[in-house]
Structure 1
C-alpha cells in the first residue's frame, strides 16, 4: 500500500508539469486504448442492433412501410425512458457539450450523460435517425480516458490532456482517420495547439486506428469512392461547388438552430416524440431518407444522374438531420453533414454534366469534395475537413481540389454570411460557457504540485514569542499557523512581519484556504488573484493536512513562463 501511494505521488507530480513527459504519453496511450475499445463496442452494438431489427442491408433496402413508420417513434420513446431512468437533470451530449466541459471542467463528464450517450446513440443510429456516430464517439472517448485519470488521482491539467487523447482515439476508432482525429481535437475541441498535448494525442489516435483496423479491417467506409485527378480546366467548377456548399451549410445551420430555439421550452418527451414522428413520416414518403450520415452516400451512388430523386433526398436529409439534432436525438452532426454534402455534390455534378461540357465532372471525386466543403462551412475546421476526406478516401490526388472547395465554403460561411461554427452556436443557444480568460487558459495547464513549496513551517496555536522565533529561524521558509474554530474545524493563516509596523516586531496574519493537490494554478488564481497577494495551502488527504504552499509569487512566475 505504501509503495502504491508513493508511485501515485510520483506519477501525479510528473503529470502536473505542462510538458511532454513519459508519464503523460503512457497515460494518454492507455486512455486512448480504453476509448478505442469503448467505441469498438459501440460500433459492434450498432451493427448487431441493425440485424436485430431486421435491417441487414443497413438502410440500403427499404423496410416494410409500417415498420419504417413505427421504428423511429418507438426508438424516441425508449430514449426518453432511458434519460428518465438515468436521473439526468439536463440532457446534454455530443461535441458541443464536450467542448463546454473541456473549458469549464477539464473534460470530466457526468456518468449519467455518458450512459445516456452510449445507449441513446445506439438506439438512435439503429432506428435510422439522420445523425452521425462521431458525436457519441467524442463524448464516450473523453469519458473513458478521464475515468482513467480520475482512477489514478491525476491532476486536472493531465485529465484535460487525457480527455483530448480519448477524443482523438475515439474518432480514429470510429472512422480510422488518425490524422483528422488529431487535428479535430486541436482545431475544434481544444481550439489551440500545444506540443505537450499534441504528442500524447498523436499516440492515442494511432492506438484508436490500429484497434479499429484489427476489429473492423483496414477498409474505409468511403472505399466505394474512387478519387480521380481533376483537370485544371475543371477547378473553377470546384470553387463554384465550394460557394454552393458555403450557402447550403449556413442554411442547414440556421434550420437546425431554429429548431433548437423553437423547442427549447417543450418537455423532453414532446421533443423526442416530435423528432420520431417527423422522421417516421419522412421515412414513409422518402424511404431513402432513413439512415445515419454516411449511408446517404450509398443512396447517392445507387441513383447517379436521377436529379429529381437526388433533389428530393437532399431536402429530406436537410430536414431529417435538422429535426433529429435540433430536438435532442443523441447523435452526431459531422456524419449527417457528410451525407448532405455528398448529395449536394451529386446534384451539382448532374446539373453541370447536363450542360454537355467537354469533359464530364468526376462523380466520385466531387462527392468527396462536397463532404469536405460542407464540413468546413458548418464546423469551421478547414484543416480537419481536408484531412478527413484525404484519409477516408485514401487518396492524395484529392488534396488540391479539396483545398479549393474548402476555402470558398469557409469564407462564404464565416465572412460573407458572418456565421459561427455550429458547435459554438449550439453552446450559445444552450447558455453553456465555452470561453475562458487568457490567464485561466494559461494557468489550467499547470498542476499545483509542479510549483508548490513543500519546505514550510506549520505551527499549532503558537505564542507571539514562538512565532517571532520561528520567523527569525525559518530563513526563507513560509510559516503557517493552525488553529481550531468553535466547530472544531482547522483554520490556517499565513504569518509574516507587518512591514508597516516600523521597528516593532508586529505580525500580520492572512487567512488562507486550501485546494486539493490535483488542482491547477487556475484554481489558485481564483482564490488569491483578485488581491494579488497571499497564498493557498495544498492538501492531499481528506483530513486537509497541508502538504504544500502556493504563494502569489509562484503563480505570477508560472504565468510569466506560460505567456512568454
Structure 2
C-alpha cells in the first residue's frame, strides 16, 4: 500500500505540470482505452438492439407501418422514464454540453447526464431517430477518461486533458478516424492547440482506432463509396456545390435552432412526445426518412433514387433531424449533417447529370464532398471536415475537391449569412457559458502542486515575541499563524511586517487570512481568491483541510501568468 501511495503521489506531481510528461501520456493512453471500450459497448448495444425492433439492416428492409409509427413513440416514453429515474429535469447532453463542461468544470461530467446519454442514445438510435452517435460518443468518452482521472486523484488541469483524450478516442472508436478525431477535439471542443495536450490526445486517438479495428474490423461504414478523380473541367461544379451546401447548412441550423428556441419553455415530457410523434408521422408518410443520420448515406449510395424521391428525402431528413435534435432526443448532430450532405449531393448530381457537366462515375465522390461541405457549414470546423472525409474514404484523391467544397460552404455560412457554429448557437440559447478570460485559460493549465511553496513556518497561537523571532529568522520563508475561533475551528493567517509603518520596539504587522485549496486545484482557482486584493496567499492541503502542506502566493501566480502569456 505504501508503494502504491508513493507512486500515486509521484504521478500527481508530474500531472500538475503543463508539460508533455510520461505521466500525462500514460494517463491519456489509459483514458483513451477506457473511452474506446465504452464506445465499443455502446456500438454493440445499438447493433444488437436493432434485432429487438425487427431491424438489422440500418432501416433498409421493409417494415410494417405499425412498427414504424409505434417504435419512436415507445422510445421517447422509455427515454422520459429514464430521465425521471435519474432526476434529470433539463436536457444537457452531447457536444455543446461537453464544450461547456470543458470550459467551466475541467471536463468533469455529472454521472446522471452520462447515464442518460448512454442509455438514451442507444434507445434513440435503435428507434430510428435522425440523429448520430458521435454526440453520445463525445459525452461518454469525456466521462470515461475523467472518471479514470478522478479515481487516481489527478489534478484538475490534467483531468481537462484526459477529457480531451477520451473525446478523441471515442470519436476514433466510432468512425475509425483517429486524425480527424484529434483535430475535432482541438478545433471544436478545446478551440486551442497546445503540444502538451496534443501529444496525449494523439495517443488516445490511436488507441481508440486500434481497439475498434480489432473488434469491428479496419473498414469504415463508408466502404461502399468508391471515389474517383475529379477532372479539372468538373471543378467549377464542385465550387458551385460548395456554395449550395453553405445555404443548406444555414437553413438546417436556422430550423433546428428555431425548434430549440420554441420548445424551451415546454415541459420535457411534451417535447419528447412531439419529437416521437413527428418522427413517427414522417416514417409513416416517407418510410425512407426513418433511421439514424448515417442511414441516409446508404440509401442514396446504393439505390440511386429518382430526383423526386431524393428531394422528398432531403426535406424529410432535414425536418426529422431538426425536430429530434431541437426537442432534446439524446443523439448527435454530425451523423445527421453527414446524411443531409449526402442527400444534397445526390440531388445536385441528379440535376446536373442531364447537362453532362460531370462524369457519371463521380456520384460517390460527390456524396463524400457533400458530407464534408455540410459539416464545415454547420460546425465551422473546416480542417476536421477535410480530414474526416479523407479518412472515411481512404482516398487522397478527394483532398483538392473537398477543399474546393469546404471553403465556399464555410464562407457562405460564416461570412455571407453571419451564421455561428451550431454548437456555439446551442450553448447561447441554453445559457451555458463557454467563454472564459484568457487569464483563466492560461492558469487552468498548471496545478498548484507544480509551483507551491512547501517550506514555510507554521506557528500555533504564538506570543508576540515568538512571532517576531520567527519573522526575524524566516529569511525567504513565509510565516503562518494558526488560531482557533469561537466555533473551535482553526483559522490560518499569513504574517508579515507592515512596510508602510516605521519599525520601532513594537513594529506593525500585517495579518492576511488564508483560504484553503485542495492539492488537485489549479492556479486559476488561486487567482480567483487572490485577485481582488492582488496580494496574500492560499494554503494547500491534501486530504485534511486542517493540515496545511504548502502555500501558493500571489507573487507565484503572477510569475506563472507572465510565463504562460509570454
Q: Under a length normalisation based on structure 2, what TM-score does the superposition of the two structures give?
A: 0.99
The answer to whether the aligner puts 1:422 opposite 2:422 as a matched pair is: yes
The structural deviation recorded for 1:476 is 0.5
Query: 1:374 — aligned with what?
Result: 374
SS at match of 1:546: coil
Correspondence list, 1:482-493, <5 A = 482-493=482-493
Query: 2:245 — aligned with what?
Result: 245
The structural deviation recorded for 1:43 is 0.1
* CA shift digits 1:319-350 (9 cap, x unpaired): 00000000000000000000000000100011
Query: 1:443 — aligned with what?
Result: 443
Contact 1:305–1:350, Cα closer than 8 Å, also in 2: no
* CA shift digits 1:387-421 (9 cap, x unpaired): 00000000100001000100000000001100000
Correspondence list, 1:130-209, <5 A = 130-209=130-209
Contact 1:62–1:288, Cα closer than 8 Å, also in 2: no
CA distance in 2 between counterparts of 1:312 and 1:133 reads 24
* CA shift digits 1:259-280 (9 cap, x unpaired): 0000001111000010000000
The answer to whether the aligner puts 1:408 opposite 2:408 as a matched pair is: yes
Query: 1:535 — aligned with what?
Result: 537
CA distance in 1 between counterparts of 2:536 and 2:442 reads 20
Contact 1:234–1:361, Cα closer than 8 Å, also in 2: no
Is 17-26 or 1-10 further displaced after alignment?
1-10
Query: 1:478 — aligned with what?
Result: 478
The structural deviation recorded for 1:490 is 1.2
Contact 2:128–2:292, Cα closer than 8 Å, also in 1: yes
The structural deviation recorded for 1:192 is 0.1
CA distance in 2 between counterparts of 1:384 and 1:64 reads 39
CA distance in 1 between counterparts of 2:448 and 2:9 reads 13
SS at match of 1:362: helix
* CA shift digits 1:256-300 (9 cap, x unpaired): 000000000111100001000000000000101011111101110
Query: 2:44 — aligned with what?
Result: 44
CA distance in 2 between counterparts of 1:375 and 1:199 reads 25
The structural deviation recorded for 1:541 is 1.2
* CA shift digits 1:48-102 (9 cap, x unpaired): 1001111022201131000100000000000000000011242210000000000
Contact 2:516–2:545, Cα closer than 8 Å, also in 1: no
The answer to whether the aligner puts 1:54 opposite 2:45 as a matched pair is: no
CA distance in 1 between counterparts of 2:194 and 2:113 reads 29
Contact 2:518–2:545, Cα closer than 8 Å, also in 1: no
Query: 1:525 — aligned with what?
Result: 527
Tell me how many residue pairs correspond in the alignment: 564
Contact 2:454–2:549, Cα closer than 8 Å, also in 1: yes
Query: 1:264 — aligned with what?
Result: 264
SS at match of 1:457: strand
The structural deviation recorded for 1:358 is 6.9
The structural deviation recorded for 1:198 is 0.2
Structure 1 vs Structure 2 CA RMSD: 0.9
SS at match of 2:549: strand
CA distance in 2 between counterparts of 1:289 and 1:523 reads 49
Contact 2:131–2:331, Cα closer than 8 Å, also in 1: yes
SS at match of 1:483: strand
Query: 2:547 — aligned with what?
Result: 545
CA distance in 2 between counterparts of 1:475 and 1:494 reads 15
Contact 1:303–1:310, Cα closer than 8 Å, also in 2: no
Contact 1:29–1:203, Cα closer than 8 Å, also in 2: yes
The structural deviation recorded for 1:224 is 0.3
The answer to whether the aligner puts 1:563 opposite 2:565 as a matched pair is: yes
Contact 2:68–2:280, Cα closer than 8 Å, also in 1: yes
The structural deviation recorded for 1:544 is 3.0
Correspondence list, 1:289-300, <5 A = 289-300=289-300
Contact 1:353–1:361, Cα closer than 8 Å, also in 2: no
Contact 1:349–1:361, Cα closer than 8 Å, also in 2: no
SS at match of 1:480: strand
Contact 1:447–1:518, Cα closer than 8 Å, also in 2: yes
The answer to whether the aligner puts 1:66 opposite 2:46 as a matched pair is: no
Task: From the superposition, tell whether residues 560 and 375 of structure 1 become closer, same or farther in structure 2 (CA, over 3 Å).
Answer: same
SS at match of 1:354: helix
* CA shift digits 1:523-543 (9 cap, x unpaired): 000000122111111111134
2:556 counterpart (536, 549, 554): 554
